[in-house]
Amino acid sequence: MTMDAITVEQLRVFVTIAEQGSFAAAARHLNRTQSAVTYTVQKLEGQTGVPLFDRDQYRPSLTEAGRSLLPHARKVIGDIADYRLHADRLRQGLEADLRIVVSQFVSPDLYVDVLKRFELTFPSVRLDLATITVQSTAALDQGQADLSLMPEFFPMGNSYVRRHCGVSKIIVVAAAVHPLVQVAVPLTNDIMSRHMQIMLVSREASSLKQNHAQHADNCWRVDDLETKRRLILGGVGWGSMPDHLVAGALRDGTMAVLEPAEWDGSDRLPQLPIVAAHRRDRPPGPAGQWLFEEFSRGGEPIE
């Protein structure tokens, strides 16, 4: 006999004997006769080429080879169980993988815990998470993503199923050493316009107006919030940021909050609605639908 003929059932008997402590206890646990259990493990030992149990004592004990091979047997049994579970879920329509795009405007607080629960609930589903800067439906439209988490700056239209799942609070900040930090508040547009503004622009289609929230004649444009944060922190200029991206710098005192007198014609800074979205004509499978519901738990559908 060769090891090619070893079966999962033989490995299960081997593991059960080791765990139950005797052939008789293993037979009871497996609801089989003791002679059948004995025969099965003897056959496995013959195929393996080494004894797995020392039978010289009252109770069988694992040989050195048995102790070495036991974790491998357990792994094979576990892998087979995972294989069967994955195959069953695929037959039920479960996705093999799921692709998500998440905007930098979305705080990790809105999705990290959900993804932890997702991994426990759907361990066989691979997750591909990509980052976008602002609002962009391109990945959904081109079939490169199944779900998106992003701010809805502008109405997305009826091609998408959307639900509110939170907000992104925008604040205006500068490095702690920036001259604007020393000016009495509230800061008028005239005062702020004298200092370099760091602005975010989108290279991802036309999802953000190029002059959106421009308050200074002299401004630099970047297409990434991390680059913007670093320039502001370095004292190059001031700018608006999602609060979660600058919370650490505010805590350690390297950044400070500025208080504009008005912002884009309003007396307050915006709180951007964050939505979970998917294409209406490409609804996600069971795992994607679970994730969509969990992202937007308690959120209202958007018509």
If asked whether residues 121 and 176 sit together in one domain, one would say no
Domain that holds residue 52: 3-91
Return d(Cα 150, Cα 132) in angstroms, integer.
8
User: What residue has token string 């050493």?
Assistant: 177
Of 90 and 248, more confident: 248
CATH number of the domain bearing residue 228: 3.40.190.290
Q: Binning pLDDT at 50, 70 and 90, where does residue 267 land?
A: confident
If asked whether residues 158 and 245 sit together in one domain, one would say no
Span 181-216, pLDDT tens digits: 999 888 998 999 999 999 998 765 444 444 457 778
CB 240 within 8 A of CB 180: no
Of 57 and 118, more confident: 118
Q: Binning pLDDT at 50, 70 and 90, where does residue 300 land?
A: low
Overall number of domains in the chain: 3
If asked whether residues 174 and 261 sit together in one domain, one would say yes
The pLDDT value recorded for residue 134 is: 78
Return d(Cα 248, Cα 270) in angstroms, integer.
21
If asked whether residues 291 and 144 sit together in one domain, one would say yes
| DSSP states along 23-48 | HHHHHHHHTS-HHHHHHHHHHHHHHH
Return d(Cα 279, Cα 10) in angstroms, integer.
49
Residue 299 has pLDDT above 60, yes or no: no
Residue 275 has pLDDT above 70, yes or no: yes
Mean pLDDT of 134-146: 87
Q: Binning pLDDT at 50, 70 and 90, where does residue 298 land?
A: low
Mean pLDDT of 131-151: 88
Return d(Cα 6, Cα 136) in angstroms, integer.
53
Structure tokens at 232: 């502001």
Mean pLDDT of 163-185: 93
User: β-strand 219-222 against 239-242: which pairing, if any?
Assistant: unpaired
If asked whether residues 153 and 190 sit together in one domain, one would say no
If asked whether residues 227 and 180 sit together in one domain, one would say yes
Q: Region of 103 please: left (phi>0), alpha (psi -120 to 50) or beta.
A: beta
Return d(Cα 183, Cα 301) in angstroms, integer.
44
pTM: predicted TM-score of the whole model, two decimal places:
0.67
The pLDDT value recorded for residue 204 is: 58
Return d(Cα 89, Cα 44) in angstroms, integer.
32
Return d(Cα 201, Cα 207) in angstroms, integer.
9
If asked whether residues 297 and 159 sit together in one domain, one would say yes
If asked whether residues 14 and 133 sit together in one domain, one would say no
Residue 22 has pLDDT above 50, yes or no: yes
Return d(Cα 230, Cα 129) in angstroms, integer.
24
The pLDDT value recorded for residue 99 is: 96
Q: Which residues contact residue 132 at a Cβ distance below 8 angstroms, ignoring those fewer than 6 apart?
A: 101, 102, 103, 104, 139, 148, 150, 204
Residue 265 has pLDDT above 50, yes or no: yes
Residue 230 has pLDDT above 90, yes or no: yes
If asked whether residues 49 and 115 sit together in one domain, one would say no
If asked whether residues 60 and 192 sit together in one domain, one would say no
CATH number of the domain bearing residue 21: 1.10.10.10
User: What residue has token string 């089989």?
Assistant: 32
The pLDDT value recorded for residue 208 is: 46
